[in-house]
């Protein structure tokens, strides 16, 4: 069985989504199906079919979350000694060597990645280049527009 790394925040978000789906969405869909069933002929009942389809998607998402949580290795980076080395869960400020433009990313699990929030997947090219490097190191990242060099400015465990 493959285990997937996940931050504490990522696990909490999945747990909250699972609770919402099981305690709020699932009961409402059951109620909607019951209401639609009362409308009569199920063969031509669009409300019934739409509710059943929605129910199928919600149940699939619930199973997906449960599976991910079972196979998650939750890593709390705040409990790991800070060495200046980039590890899963750490927040890294990097600066483009050519432009001196800096950007900050947190390295997270695939499910948590959201570039708009500064969270990049551990499997992304930037994260792969950064992992195991230290503050002050320069890393080369292959991008579609060529190789870009970044200097690791600071590594935080937050």
Return the number of other C-beta atoms located less than 10 Å from residue 90's C-beta. 22
pLDDT digits (tens, 9 = 90+) for 39-82: 777 777 788 888 899 999 999 999 999 999 999 999 999 999 99
Q: Which long-range contacts (CB under 8 A, 24 or more apart) does 26-35 make?
A: 26/55, 26/58, 26/59, 26/62, 29/54, 29/55, 29/58, 30/55
Q: Can you give the three-state secondary structure of 96-142, one letter per residue?
A: ECCCCCEEEEEEECHHHCEHHHCEEECCCHHHHHHCCCECCCEEEEE
pTM for the full model? 0.81
Could you give all domains of the chain from N- to C-terminal order, each with its CATH number?
A: 4-75 (1.10.287.180), 78-156 (3.10.50.30)
Q: 3-class DSSP state for residue 153?
A: strand
**What are the tens digits of pLDDT across the range 91-144?**
999 999 999 999 999 999 998 999 999 999 999 999 999 999 999 999 999 988
């Amino acid at each position: 069985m493959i285990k997937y790394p996940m931050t504490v925040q990522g696990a909490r978000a999945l747990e909250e989504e699972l609770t919402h789906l099981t305690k709020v969405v699932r009961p409402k869909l059951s109620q909607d199906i019951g209401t639609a069933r009362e409308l009569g002929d199920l063969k031509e009942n669009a409300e019934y079919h739409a509710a059943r389809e929605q129910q199928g998607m919600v149940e699939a998402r619930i199973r997906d979350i449960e599976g991910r949580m079972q196979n998650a290795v939750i890593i709390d980076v705040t409990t790991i000694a800070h060495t200046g080395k980039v590890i899963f869960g750490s927040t890294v400020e990097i600066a483009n060597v050519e432009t001196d433009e800096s950007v900050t990313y947190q390295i997270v699990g695939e499910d948590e990645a959201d570039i708009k929030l500064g969270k990049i997947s551990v499997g992304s090219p930037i994260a792969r280049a950064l992992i195991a490097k230290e503050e002050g190191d320069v890393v080369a990242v292959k991008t579609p527009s060529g190789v870009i060099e970044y200097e690791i400015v600071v590594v935080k465990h937050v």
